[in-house]
Structure 1
Amino acid sequence: MSTKYLLLSFCAVLLVSCTGRGFQPPPGAYTQWYKKGVSQAGVDNAMRACGYTNLDGVGDTSPIDVVLTRFYCMKDAGFKRRDNLDLCKQGRIGESPVCEGRR
C-alpha cells in the first residue's frame, strides 16, 4: 500500500511541476522587436505592414524567403531585435537570394 501512495505522490508532484508557473512558453516574436520611441502597438503595426500575419511566430510554415523578407523589412524600417538575431548569418539560411548583401 505504501508503494501506491508513493506513486500517487510522485504523480502529483510531476503534475504540479508541469502546470501553472512551472511551464513558460517562449515569448512571442512581437516581443523581440523594438525601436526607440515606438510602442508595442507600433511594433505590431510595423510587423503587419511587413507582411507578418502571425505576430507570435508560433507555427509559421511560410517559406524561408518569405520569413527573411518580413524579417529584413523590419530591420530596414529601423527595428532591432532584443536577441540580436540576424537570420542571414544563421547557417544555410544565408544562401537565400534574400540574404544577398546581408551576409
Structure 2
Amino acid sequence: MKFASVFFLFVSLALQTGCAGKPFQPPPFEFESWEKPGTSEQEIKRALLECGYPDPFIAGGKASANEFVIMSRCMEKSGFTSKIPYSLCRGNFNLPACALPDAEIPNRKIEKRLGGRFCRELPGADVCK
C-alpha cells in the first residue's frame, strides 16, 4: 500500500510539473518566427509575402520542403533571422535548394506580395497596400 501511495504521488507530481509552464501552446504565426533589428511586424509580413510565402501567418502552406527552404533563404538573404533554430538544410534532407549559392536565391519582389493569393483574397490588408 505504501508503494502504491508513493508511486501515485510521484506520478501526480511529474504530471503537474509538466503542465506548470505554458502547456499545449499553438505554434507561433510565421511572422513571429522571424526578426530583424528595427523592423516592424508589418515589414516582416511584407517580406514573407515578397519572398514567396503564401501567407504571413502559416508556415509554408502547401509549399514543398524545397520551396520552403528557398523562401526561408530569401528571408535570410534580406537580413532576417529565424527565431527557430531548426533548418531543413541541417537535417537529413537532400534538398536542391540547400546547395544553391546565395546568388541563385531569389530576392524579395513586391509583385509576389501584391499578386499573391493572400493579397488577392485580402486586398484591404495593411501588408497589401
TM tier relative to shorter chain: 0.5 to 0.7
> Residues 50 and 58 (structure 1 numbering): CA distance in 2 closer, same or farther, change over 3 Å?
closer
**Residue aligning to 1:83:** 84
Stretches of structure 2 that go unaligned for 5 or more consecutive residues are: 1-21, 102-129
Stretches of structure 1 that go unaligned for 5 or more consecutive residues are: 1-20
Q: Counterpart amino acid of 2:66?
A: D
Residue correspondences, number: 80
8 Å CA contact 2:35, 2:81 repeated in 1? yes
Q: Partner of 2:89: helix, strand, or coil?
A: helix
Q: CA deviation at 1:23?
A: 5.0
> 1:72 and 2:73 equivalent?
yes
Deviations 1:57-85 (A, max 9, x none): 25822112211110100011110011233
5 Å-filtered alignment, 1:16-55, equals 24-55=25-56
Percent identical pairs in the alignment equals 28
Distance 2:80 2:61 in 1: 21
TM-score normalised by length of structure 2: 0.54
TM-score normalised by length of structure 1: 0.66
Q: CA deviation at 1:56?
A: 2.1
Q: Partner of 2:52: helix, strand, or coil?
A: coil
Q: Counterpart amino acid of 1:51?
A: G
Q: Partner of 1:70: helix, strand, or coil?
A: helix
